[in-house]
Amino acid sequence: DQQVKQNSPSLSVQEGRISILNCDYTNSMFDYFLWYKKYPAEGPTFLISISSIKDKNEDGRFTVFLNKSAKHLSLHIVPSQPGDSAVYFCAASAGGGATNKLIFGTGTLLAVQP
């Protein structure tokens, strides 16, 4: 049972435009959500996170939105740059701060075209 779902395996966007990556979850016990970026032959790197008590978190060009009633979160990248081309993973935790266990989605491959 996939508790965290990324239904779009890939996304192509023009440089300078907005990239929107989506993630849905089923477990209402998740209390923290994260986005990781992964380049080929490297491990995932942390991008941005959001607590379940918030609905928005911004960090530079990256903004994460959380809609708890819809069990949906999204990552917005504005403006998109070619260096953003990577696989993006959505992850969630239900640990309440007691565990580092993360449940990951299957990833979305973002391609930013120059």
Where does this chain bind another protein (CB under 8 A)? 4, 6, 32, 34, 36, 41-46, 49, 89, 91, 93, 95-107
Least distance (Å) between residue 14 CB and another protein? 27
Least distance (Å) between residue 61 CB and another protein? 19
Structure tokens at 69: 């009633």
Give the residue with the Cβ less far from another protein, 40 or 114: 40
Least distance (Å) between residue 96 CB and another protein? 8
